[in-house]
A and B are shown apart, each in its own frame.
Chain A
Amino acid sequence: MTSPAAYQVSHLDALEAESIFVMREVVAEMERPVLLFSGGKDSIVMLRLAQKAFAPANIPFPVMHVDTGHNFPEVLDYRDQRVAELGLQLIVASVPEALNRGMVRESADGMRNRIQTPVLLDAVEKHRFDALFGGARRDEEKARAKERVFSFRDEFGQWDPKNQRPELWSLYNGRHHPGESIRVFPLSNWTELDVWHYIARERIPLPSIYYAHEREVIERDGMFYAVNEFFRARAGEQPFKAQVRYRTVGDASCTAAVRSDADTVEKVIEEVAATRITERGATRGDDRVSEAAMEDRKREGYF
């Protein structure tokens, strides 16, 4: 027999195999799964894994975008193009619509991160989804570092960190009562760098804003925000042109860019390998609210 060394797999192959296993478990055991697709790099990688998990069949579930109304146009175009290419059903859970209906109210600071949650939960209830694939990774944030791959949510969509199901070997417990659901995180064990290596290896196209480009920005709290219809400069903030790229893509009113010359995937990998600031720390105004901002949002039913 060939030596065991011949049967080694790279870390990317091991991660890919684990994620594919997780996605197949969900489709085999759950009734109505849906994949949360924002047009961000993690959900894009997740979509590629879904393609691989069920090939040569089509992806056997719809995708859902929780649309805050504060979008980067490049990302919306990308979303629509991917969905068309793959022949997917796209469900849009719209925050502006929910605002019009009076279901949610705009918060004082104009950030829509928190009010996404009731809109998401409303869509889950309406479509009776029992499994939601999310692109969250455990390396992103410390509340996420303790979340399961199959994360149980009660009938209010809430996460209870002290009452999580033990997760052993590759045995995932997706059992739930009607109205309850499971958030599933196939990328749990991936890091930001793993995601970029995979994007390079698989030659996955991304929205252009992930690569360096010139943009008019203002500097606030040490972060660079694009000036656009959702984000206005305050008095004393002087917009200037800078070479930037986005490390994360979220709501356009609270996602900041980083200064960067990385205009190719190889250069981005170099940059990410060398950076000493976390991606959320560098780019997300919403995580700076408090020490437990993410945990609090997750408890309420956030991604």
Chain B
Amino acid sequence: MSVETVAPAEADASARPMDLLRFATAGSVDDGKSTLIGRLLYDTKSLFSDQLAAVEAVSAARGDEYTNLALLTDGLRAEREQGITIDVAYRYFATPRRKFIIADTPGHIQYTRNMVTGASTADLALILVDARKGLVEQSRRHAFLCSLLRVPHLVLCVNKMDLVDWSQEVFERIADEFTAFAAKLDVPDLTVVPISALRGDNIVSRSENMPWYEGPSLLHHLERVHIASDRNLVDVRFPVQYVIRPQSTTVTDYRGYAGQVASGVLKPGDEVMVLPSGFTSRIAAVETADGPVDEAFPPMSVTVRLTDEIDISRGDMICRPNNAPMVAQDIEAMVCWMDESRPLQVGGRYAIKHTTRSARTIVRELHYRLDVNSLHRDETAGELKLNEIGRVRLRTTVPLLADEYRRNRTTGGFVIIDEATNRTVGAGMIVEAG
């Protein structure tokens, strides 16, 4: 590896505050994903010498011809024994501008389940392809899942450029093909970067081997990609998480609604409506433990107090009278099934968790199962097995306070839980509700 590095995370806490970017990586071991992650950690001084020494020792013991950086992220015994990655691994690094959380998802086993999990919280997804092979079925599947989960930014890294003689032609052919495919998927922001993860080209700084490439290095892009506008600051949605009522002699008559702002901006004085009751009131104060604030916006965790005494409990939603979510028991959604033991079936009954609200649900209809490679809709499908995705109609026992997932990832997403085993068996994205 080259010795070129960037400065480690800012030691001075008073410097311009860093923000946070969460990204998911997708690709198989062969695409060089682990090498790329190892490179990012190494070049930002987030990889420690004892970690590297441990990986080198295990690589040597296994007879690997090179230091296998996949061992950095493969933490479980079974993974090292079988040479596979089982689960999403979370990794952290920081530069003076940003802290990064990587959800590193394995490329093969349980692929869809893990990718969907990693993508659900991601601001950005990074897809790798091998320049020698170009786009493969898996690259298209990755892109589709990122668009399904509405990851706002997509980066395609065309890796192993050193093995195609740094060819501009090869790069452009892959970039064009991927761009055309992404256009069909409604991907809001796509960046394509030619890299060599092994040699460090276009990772931290611009590569001298590819003078024809005029875009930013990967790290430069990750540090500067504009994510502030990705949040929905328009629709006020405050799912009530917990009611704070101190049992104390010093604080009396206090009633605060604690929660994390899902979207929109809440300010004292704002007229609000509480769902599902429909009662209206005004915000008396927005508080934190450090004192009142002038406004609250995502992802702040705050406590809201209202001017009127209304009966509000966990699972209720504070919104604006003229901008409210749907109050619905019939839900149309795309569902990704995550359970190996029992498939989703029409007529199946489950528990559902949506924002801070829990309900029971029955699957009324399975409209189709989607082939994630061809995007073909199979309308004859009778069930969804592990890692399959389909469009369903659900009926819930109590109304959900929901938005379309494409408009609001927090109030549009839900999980399905098997009531017998308590396992999380499905992830849903609301298409429409009525």
Give me the interface of A with B, judged by CB distance under 8 Å.
1, 4-5, 7-18, 20-21, 24-25, 27-28, 51-58, 138-139, 141-146, 152, 161-162, 164-171, 173, 175-177, 188-189, 191, 193-194, 197, 200-201, 266, 269-270, 273-278, 281-282, 291-292, 295-296
B247 at the interface (CB under 8 A from A): yes
Contact call B241/A25, Cβ cutoff below 8 A: yes
Distance (whole angstroms) from the CB of B189 to the closest CB of chain A: 15
Distance (whole angstroms) from the CB of B118 to the closest CB of chain A: 9
Give me the interface of B with A, judged by CB distance under 8 Å.
8-11, 13, 17-20, 45, 48-51, 54, 58, 72-78, 80, 86-92, 94, 98-99, 101, 113-114, 116-117, 120-121, 228-229, 231, 233, 241-242, 244-248, 251, 254, 258-260, 265, 288-290, 297-301, 303, 314, 338, 351, 353-354, 356, 409-410, 413-415, 417, 422-424, 427
Residues of chain B within 8 A (CB-CB) of A16 are: 301
Contact call B424/A7, Cβ cutoff below 8 A: no
Residues of chain B within 8 A (CB-CB) of A292 are: 76-77, 80
Residue pairs across A and B with Cβ atoms less than 8 A apart, 26 shown, are A1-B233, A4-B231, A8-B19, A13-B17, A14-B20, A17-B301, A21-B260, A24-B242, A25-B241, A25-B356, A55-B289, A139-B92, A142-B75, A152-B422, A166-B114, A168-B116, A168-B415, A169-B409, A170-B260, A173-B353, A173-B422, A175-B351, A188-B90, A194-B99, A276-B48, A292-B77
Distance (whole angstroms) from the CB of A65 to the closest CB of chain B: 24
Given contact pairs A28-B241, A281-B50, A295-B75, A17 touches B299 in the complex (Cβ within 8 A): yes
Given contact pairs A7-B231, A146-B87, A57 touches B423 in the complex (Cβ within 8 A): no
Given contact pairs A10-B19, A145-B90, A176-B422, A166 touches B117 in the complex (Cβ within 8 A): yes
Contact call B86/A12, Cβ cutoff below 8 A: no
Interface centre among B248, B259, B260 (most CB of A within 10 A): B260
Given contact pairs A55-B289, A276-B49, A146 touches B75 in the complex (Cβ within 8 A): yes
Given contact pairs A166-B424, A169-B120, A292-B77, A54 touches B92 in the complex (Cβ within 8 A): no
Residues of chain B within 8 A (CB-CB) of A152 are: 422
Bound-state Cα–Cα, A191 to B91, Å: 10
Contact call A167/B117, Cβ cutoff below 8 A: yes
Tally of A-B residue pairs with Cβ under 8 A? 212
Contact call B73/A145, Cβ cutoff below 8 A: yes
Contact call A161/B228, Cβ cutoff below 8 A: no
Residues of chain A within 8 A (CB-CB) of B254 are: 56-57
Contact call A169/B413, Cβ cutoff below 8 A: yes
Distance (whole angstroms) from the CB of B314 to the closest CB of chain A: 5
Interface centre among A10, A14, A282 (most CB of B within 10 A): A14
Residues of chain B within 8 A (CB-CB) of A20 are: 260, 301
Distance (whole angstroms) from the CB of A64 to the closest CB of chain B: 22
Q: Which residue of B lies closest to A201 (CB)?
A: B13
Given contact pairs A17-B301, A170-B410, A277-B50, A4 touches B228 in the complex (Cβ within 8 A): yes
Contact call B20/A269, Cβ cutoff below 8 A: no
Query: B289 is contacted by which of A11, A52, A191 (Cβ under 8 Å)?
Result: A52
Residues of chain B within 8 A (CB-CB) of A14 are: 19-20, 299
Interface centre among B89, B301, B353, B413 (most CB of A within 10 A): B301
Contact call A171/B77, Cβ cutoff below 8 A: no
Bound-state Cα–Cα, A109 to B89, Å: 33
Query: A295 is contacted by which of B49, B76, B228, B303 (Cβ under 8 Å)?
Result: B76
Residues of chain B within 8 A (CB-CB) of A270 are: 11
Given contact pairs A18-B299, A169-B410, A277-B50, A11 touches B98 in the complex (Cβ within 8 A): yes
Query: B9 is contacted by which of A27, A144, A273 (Cβ under 8 Å)?
Result: A273
Distance (whole angstroms) from the CB of B361 to the closest CB of chain A: 14
Distance (whole angstroms) from the CB of B35 to the closest CB of chain A: 17
Contact call B413/A171, Cβ cutoff below 8 A: yes
Contact call B422/A53, Cβ cutoff below 8 A: no
Given contact pairs A17-B300, A56-B246, A278-B51, A162 touches B86 in the complex (Cβ within 8 A): yes
